[in-house]
Structure 1
Amino acid sequence: MTNQVLQTLAEMRGIESNYVDAWGKPAVIKQSSKEKLLNALGYDTTDEEAVLNQIKTETLTYWQSVLNPVQVSRVSERLKFSLRLPLELVNDTYDFVVTTEQGKVFTKTFVPVDTQLINVAQLEEVEYQEYVIDFEEQLEPGYHTLKLMVEGDDEAFVTMRLIMAPDSCYMPDSIASGHKVWGLSVQLYCVRSQTNWGIGDFSDLDRLVTDAAKKGAQFIGLNPIHALYPANPEACSPYGPSSRRWLNFLYLDVTAIDGYQDAAVQKIVNSQQFKTKLQAARDAQHVDYALVAELKIEVLNAVFSTYEKQYFDKNSRQLKAFNAFIENGGESLDMLAVYDVMQEHLKDAGEPSWGWPVFPDKFKEYHKPEVTKFAKKHAKRVRFYQFLQWQAAEQLEQANQAAQKAGMTIGLYRDLAVGVSEGSAEIWGNKDLYCVKASVGAPPDVLGPLGQKWGLPPMDPQRLYDQGYQPIIDLFSSNMASAGALRIDHVMALLRLWWVPEGDHAREGGYVYYPVDDLLGILALESHRNKNLVIGEDLGTVPEEIRGKLAENGIFSYRVFFFEQAEDGGFFSPSHYPEQSMSTLTTHDMPTLIGYWHCHDLELGKELGLYPSEDVLQNLYAARHADKQEILNSMDGHNTLSGEVSRDVNQTAMTQPLNFGLQTHMATGSSALLSLQLEDWLQMDMPVNIPGTFDEYPNWRRKLTRNLEDIFADENLAQLAKRLTDARDQASTNK
């Protein structure tokens, strides 16, 4: 097979040939990788004839589609529609009929041959022509429908989804006017309190936003709180969820649900056995997900039974609200609940159950007839899991309301993971959309020198387009609910994703491109509908084109102090960061401040075998030492270094004055948003996650070292908060 034939198909499917790596050097995607990526997309690359036939089929499919399945346009642009017709039909008279989401109807009558011809193709002895038709009406933002009507016919010839989007994302007025704010980022599961059951919960979040707001914080940033796996609680990565549309019910405060005070429930929680287990869950150094799930599900079963008897046996307000929640959740909610019940059922029966790939064949896909029968047979249990989602949504909204009541500028900001795990309910419910023979990851970069493979099957961009972008609309909308901002993890995914073929090393992957302008338009629309500011995590191997697009679309960049270095090794002053950005010192994928300064991350990396050679490790140690001196130089130059801290790295440990000084140094910067990790407030040393590891380190389990009740009563932290607020206010006046 010639390289050119394969290359043609690869280009048709958006597979990149070249890219610039994280160190600014040109890199090439291997032909073998392109071939495997085409296989993952469902193509046969065994010989040239097979590839040519598929190219022919793809081309014919395009020309025989009169309208595109979906079009995303911006409200400021002149609206145009393209259509493709056989030559024999181009002299007929047609109507474009647009029905807006708001119920307005606009019509344009035209004859294609009288409009602008832009393309012609001869396929199977038929000539096809493509035209562009101007549409003069101004349409409101929203999800509209375009129908192509043939003159004299009552039925639509073909329909298309039309999405009209604002030019940029939503921004709160105070931020737009230059006000600079700070907030805290927290992994909710890490939170300790006197009342939670061994894992942070939504009541903890309610208290956290209230107490933090009193100290001047204007937002609380969360880890992804997506639904995980009730029957497999040890699969605990928030970045490898089962469904990104729904919530992890382990964050429920069980004691806050109506029915908890019932005698039957109290009998369970007051038993000595339960109390012993609960104390063990609270005292554990790391979150014991299995124990937490056992405790919560046992009590939630009893609470649900009580709730049913109390409210669901009559036409109560609660029943109406629950039924409305189920109706609004539609197939997606039903699918997740059925999946959770099925996984639980298979586990209880001693059968393989970690995910749909090991389910019996008759249960391997949500839309199979046997799954429908199963759901009917287990309807009450399905309703139980729907109930948990309802209660989780209610408690999250209560925390959101607490943030608004406290006067926070932003309030909660949520985090959207880049994908779902291989065995997820999200894939089980929409198999056509995902390419399970590949995984999302990253080429070698600073955070992962060996490259990364995350075990998250990517969406097929063509299938996403064919489905009218509904899956991505649902993801944006649901993750903006009960929040004032959305952080999009690995925001480069809107432009391209690093796909790693099944069985290959992370470095053997390649980039696959996505319809970035369409996705950004949808993001802008949902941002305004939900009044969410949008932050894009743009770390790693980032092409310049995406940074420009993000800025133009009103998306905030993500600036990490330790990565903001000049070519000479010096650290940029935070006052030089883009105003349209969120700055931070560390992230969930990085060491804490103490961990960074004392090189705990390098020691752990050596123990876990993350570095290709001893030379690489020694170079990292040397670079870290030099970087720390440059940090001291930068802080000294900007007068943010306390007199208690030596200017010589050889005499300087990460003490509280240096820790708090670094945080204040960041607060003087020009970024509109400053996010600080609660771990660094508490001067913790161990990281919450080490990229590139699976079970070598207890990722996503390490708890905070202090109870929530104690943190904001600490006078040292109160003084830090005041310094941050004063610095942010001063930075706001310096713009």
Structure 2
Amino acid sequence: MMTTILNKQCQQAGILPYFFDERGLKISPKTEVKKRLLKAFENNFSQHSLLPTVKIFRQKTPHFFPLNTPNQREHIQGKWQLWLENQTEPLQGKIKRNAIPLPQNLPLGYHQLQLTVGKQQWQCVLIIAPERCYQPIELLEHKKLWGTFLQLYTLKSATNWGIGDFGDLKQFIRSLEPYQADFLGLNPIHALFPANPESASPYSPSSRRWLNIAYIDIGSLVEFQQSQTAQAWFNSAEIQQKLTALRATDWINYAEVIPLKLTGLRFAFQQVDKENPAFIKFLQKSGESLQVQATFDALHAHLSQHFSEQWGWDFWAKAYQDFNSPAVQQFRQQHQQDILFYSWLQFIADQQLAECDALCQRQAMPIGLYRDLAVGVTGNGAETWNNKTLFCLNASVGAPPDVLGPQGQNWGLTPFNPHILQQQAYRPFIELVRSNMQHCGALRLDHIMSLLRLWWIPKGDSAVNGAYIRYPVDDLIAILALESQRHQCTIIGEDLGTVPKEIVSKLRNAGILSYKIFYFEFDQQGQSRDLQQYPYQAMTTLSTHDLPTINGYWRGYDFELGKQFGVYPNPKILSILQQDRVRAKRKILDRLQQAGIDIEQGIDETLDSPVNKTFNHQLQRYVAKVSSALFGLQPEDWLDMTEPVNIPGTSTQYPNWRRKLTKNIDAIFADREIQALLIGVKQQRLG
């Protein structure tokens, strides 16, 4: 009896009873894990109403809308009114056979439905969504586009302050113009923690709705240029010496860079016209969301000056742990200028990102910038601070155990509660994707399987003790399609790893591009996949921020690092992976030889094989022939770099998210071998 009740509760909550791992084995979560995850929901998943809070229909499909009548024999009498988006006069009618006979061919958008039965009323957001996401004309014409993606913070230049910024991004975009690149992808540029500079992972943000102010190009600010105080400080021997040292390092020193940039920005802010109409409009348009973010950053900075270990709101005094608390509102009254300062930083970051996007458009890039949306947020940042009911704070997100990671992965991110998300009519998700579709032509969704299911782990537990939680995938894809069409923003889904079959067709039918890594693509015969057999509706690349560079892959440097930092505690698994790498390299070499590529003597499939820039570029030019719509390179591989930017499974063992590129932007594009590579890649995509 107890088991039956538990299973029913799990079904209501959306805790999946089993899943199939990468070997095809059926895995079921432990009973104790299911009980702990049920507690994380806080029993807020059961609601009954004649109308749901939100209902989604696809355009050009019948809009049959039955009421949620508990008694099927009961005959409901009442009327309905429907306010179309941006219209004041409602459509109206009566309930028929316990259903609302909605008009056909309703326009795309977000509409408000009201049901009246006697003296009771119910409200519902009615969303009419398109069948597919937006794709530019070039993709509809089956053209093959190419571009690069970079970790913005890794850029070196003679003018930045020790970290790549939007000024560097402009320079990089201009430098790409002779090669007619079609897009330039960025790492997530979400807001992090300015008061805690060492929290550097772009995939563990404080908020995904706002920007990382570390990317502001201070030198280009008129307010900074015109401030005598700022210029005297900036040109002092001490600051110039410090900037020179920060620029020269191979690894970003966040603890020095962020406070230095904030000091420079404070000087600039003293010159700001607080009545600037563009700034006022930005404040009004951004509403409470910006106030939450700016207050969080100002309060975090204030508390960190007076107390140690103020990492996030769950470390703060209880009085400050909610945005709406009296203590926080008092802080807002007493520190209005500090809050305005952090609001202005978001304004400037938004402006500079927009300028980068506009530059891409002037260069006639079909896509231009594409942004990256992290799968979640940290549990103690700004996004959770003001809407705690939306998040399950007693759970974190990760991945189940597999051959590569027998202990699974715990990413330390806090998940949306799918039931509260629906009760809030998906408004947080809508606002999230809208904000990330600003100033770009494409959006990459990290771990897009999260639209269908997410691996939840009880807070503080090992990733082994988790379970998959179901999400309303059809509704979320429909919203993505609507916002994608409205923003003319192509959607790329990072679908690596174990991908459930049920989501593959949903993504394909919705016009969402898949994500293919050359290293992982083999055909049914076990051979390196023929480049012409890749799906067109995809983006293909050789590596990512979570994988070794081409150089590192070819000589097994990732295994050396993994062994050094305890990523591969089992020697047998490490040996199997190394043998798999040797076999994979042999198959890649076979393909290169079949393509008539003359490989230098000595380069072979062994992990002792030398590798050089010539071979590296040969491989990139070869893969550029891939039949996928998009092909992406990364500057690390242009430069034949070895060190990875991130080692999954490590935190403090390796300096993740800190490694810079080995050359500055000018030197990269002055390199004749890199020039030849980019010209060759463009020719391959046109051919």
TM-score band by shorter chain is: over 0.9
- Which SS does the other structure have where 2:203 is aligned? coil
In the other structure, the counterpart of 2:258 is 293
Partner AA of 1:690 in structure 2: I
In the other structure, the counterpart of 2:197 is 233
Cα distance in 2 for residues equivalent to 1:247 and 1:447: 33
Cα distance in 2 for residues equivalent to 1:453 and 1:222: 24
In the other structure, the counterpart of 2:347 is 390
TM-score by length of structure 2 reads 0.97
TM-score by length of structure 1 reads 0.90
Which residue of 93, 96, 117 maps to 2:80?
Answer: 96
Cα distance in 1 for residues equivalent to 2:75 and 2:501: 45
Q: Deviations over 1:667-713 (max 9, x none)?
A: 11110000111110111001100111110000000000000111112
- Which SS does the other structure have where 2:401 is aligned? coil
Cα distance in 1 for residues equivalent to 2:71 and 2:17: 36
- Which SS does the other structure have where 2:655 is aligned? coil
Matched, 1:486 2:443: yes
Q: CA deviation at 1:645?
A: 5.4
Which residue of 602, 625, 647 maps to 1:690?
Answer: 647
Q: CA deviation at 1:501?
A: 0.9
Partner AA of 1:284 in structure 2: T
Cα distance in 2 for residues equivalent to 1:567 and 1:607: 34
Q: CA deviation at 1:150?
A: 4.4
Partner AA of 2:487 in structure 1: N
**Cα distance change on mapping 1:377 and 1:447 into 2, 3 Å:** farther
Matched, 1:664 2:628: no
Matched, 1:141 2:108: yes
Q: CA deviation at 1:729?
A: 0.8
Q: CA deviation at 1:351?
A: 4.3
Q: CA deviation at 1:724?
A: 0.7
Q: Deviations over 1:329-356 (max 9, x none)?
A: 1111100110111111111112441001
In the other structure, the counterpart of 2:54 is 70
Matched, 1:326 2:293: no
In the other structure, the counterpart of 1:209 is 173
Cα distance in 2 for residues equivalent to 1:292 and 1:158: 53
Cα distance in 2 for residues equivalent to 1:634 and 1:246: 44
In the other structure, the counterpart of 1:534 is 491
Cα distance in 2 for residues equivalent to 1:86 and 1:22: 41
**Cα distance change on mapping 1:626 and 1:469 into 2, 3 Å:** same
Partner AA of 1:34 in structure 2: K
Please say if residues 613 and 639 of structure 2, whose CA atoms lie closer than 8 Å, have aligned partners that are also in contact. Answer: no
Q: CA deviation at 1:136?
A: 2.7
Q: Deviations over 1:578-600 (max 9, x none)?
A: 10000010010000001011111
In the other structure, the counterpart of 1:474 is 431
Could you tell me the percent identity over the aligned residues? 42
- Which SS does the other structure have where 2:223 is aligned? coil
Q: CA deviation at 1:215?
A: 1.2
Cα distance in 1 for residues equivalent to 2:550 and 2:70: 65
- Which SS does the other structure have where 1:506 is aligned? coil
**Cα distance change on mapping 1:539 and 1:505 into 2, 3 Å:** same
**Cα distance change on mapping 1:88 and 1:638 into 2, 3 Å:** closer
**Cα distance change on mapping 1:646 and 1:77 into 2, 3 Å:** farther
Partner AA of 1:30 in structure 2: K
- Which SS does the other structure have where 2:224 is aligned? coil
Please say if residues 90 and 111 of structure 1, whose CA atoms lie closer than 8 Å, have aligned partners that are also in contact. Answer: no
In the other structure, the counterpart of 2:326 is 369
In the other structure, the counterpart of 2:566 is 609
Q: CA deviation at 1:550?
A: 0.5
Cα distance in 1 for residues equivalent to 2:115 and 2:576: 64
Which residue of 143, 154, 157 maps to 1:179?
Answer: 143
Please say if residues 241 and 424 of structure 1, whose CA atoms lie closer than 8 Å, have aligned partners that are also in contact. Answer: yes
Please say if residues 240 and 421 of structure 1, whose CA atoms lie closer than 8 Å, have aligned partners that are also in contact. Answer: yes
**Cα distance change on mapping 1:213 and 1:95 into 2, 3 Å:** farther
In the other structure, the counterpart of 1:47 is none
Partner AA of 2:589 in structure 1: L
Cα distance in 2 for residues equivalent to 1:111 and 1:717: 67
Please say if residues 624 and 685 of structure 2, whose CA atoms lie closer than 8 Å, have aligned partners that are also in contact. Answer: yes
Matched, 1:400 2:361: no
Structure 1 runs not aligned, ≥5 long: 44-53, 116-130, 731-735
Q: CA deviation at 1:615?
A: 1.3
Matched, 1:167 2:123: no
Cα distance in 1 for residues equivalent to 2:183 and 2:72: 61
Please say if residues 561 and 574 of structure 1, whose CA atoms lie closer than 8 Å, have aligned partners that are also in contact. Answer: no
Q: CA deviation at 1:426?
A: 0.4
**Cα distance change on mapping 1:92 and 1:542 into 2, 3 Å:** closer
In the other structure, the counterpart of 1:46 is none
Matches within 5 A, 1:582-597: 582-597=539-554
**Cα distance change on mapping 1:610 and 1:92 into 2, 3 Å:** closer
In the other structure, the counterpart of 2:17 is 17
**Cα distance change on mapping 1:446 and 1:221 into 2, 3 Å:** farther
In the other structure, the counterpart of 2:212 is 248
Partner AA of 1:136 in structure 2: P
Cα distance in 2 for residues equivalent to 1:229 and 1:625: 42
Please say if residues 599 and 615 of structure 2, whose CA atoms lie closer than 8 Å, have aligned partners that are also in contact. Answer: no
Matched, 1:279 2:254: no
In the other structure, the counterpart of 2:395 is 438
Q: CA deviation at 1:357?
A: 0.6
Q: Deviations over 1:45-76 (max 9, x none)?
A: xxxxxxxxx9xxx66x32xx121001111112
Please say if residues 563 and 569 of structure 2, whose CA atoms lie closer than 8 Å, have aligned partners that are also in contact. Answer: no
In the other structure, the counterpart of 2:303 is 346
Deviates more, 1:344-353 or 1:528-537: 344-353
Please say if residues 198 and 278 of structure 1, whose CA atoms lie closer than 8 Å, have aligned partners that are also in contact. Answer: yes
Please say if residues 191 and 199 of structure 1, whose CA atoms lie closer than 8 Å, have aligned partners that are also in contact. Answer: yes
In the other structure, the counterpart of 1:195 is 159
Deviates more, 1:615-624 or 1:218-227: 615-624
In the other structure, the counterpart of 1:676 is 633
Cα distance in 2 for residues equivalent to 1:111 and 1:369: 46
**Cα distance change on mapping 1:447 and 1:525 into 2, 3 Å:** farther
Cα distance in 1 for residues equivalent to 2:403 and 2:218: 42
Cα distance in 2 for residues equivalent to 1:700 and 1:279: 21
- Which SS does the other structure have where 2:271 is aligned? helix
**Cα distance change on mapping 1:216 and 1:447 into 2, 3 Å:** farther
Cα distance in 2 for residues equivalent to 1:158 and 1:435: 27
In the other structure, the counterpart of 2:666 is 709
Cα distance in 1 for residues equivalent to 2:640 and 2:585: 17
Q: Deviations over 1:139-182 (max 9, x none)?
A: 1111110111347x7xx822111111111100000111111111
Cα distance in 2 for residues equivalent to 1:586 and 1:362: 46
Matched, 1:80 2:64: yes
Cα distance in 2 for residues equivalent to 1:105 and 1:29: 51
Please say if residues 189 and 199 of structure 1, whose CA atoms lie closer than 8 Å, have aligned partners that are also in contact. Answer: yes
Cα distance in 1 for residues equivalent to 2:190 and 2:389: 22
**Cα distance change on mapping 1:599 and 1:449 into 2, 3 Å:** farther
Cα distance in 1 for residues equivalent to 2:108 and 2:405: 41
- Which SS does the other structure have where 1:161 is aligned? strand
Cα distance in 1 for residues equivalent to 2:599 and 2:201: 42
**Cα distance change on mapping 1:456 and 1:514 into 2, 3 Å:** same
Partner AA of 1:25 in structure 2: L
Cα distance in 2 for residues equivalent to 1:91 and 1:590: 60
- Which SS does the other structure have where 1:508 is aligned? coil
In the other structure, the counterpart of 2:461 is 504
Please say if residues 80 and 100 of structure 2, whose CA atoms lie closer than 8 Å, have aligned partners that are also in contact. Answer: no
Q: CA deviation at 1:87?
A: 6.1
Q: CA deviation at 1:567?
A: 4.8
Q: How large is the RMSD of aligned CA atoms in angstroms?
A: 1.8
Matched, 1:642 2:598: yes
In the other structure, the counterpart of 1:2 is 2
Cα distance in 1 for residues equivalent to 2:555 and 2:71: 72
Q: Deviations over 1:240-280 (max 9, x none)?
A: 00010000011000011121122111011011221121112
**Cα distance change on mapping 1:646 and 1:95 into 2, 3 Å:** farther
Structure 2 runs not aligned, ≥5 long: none
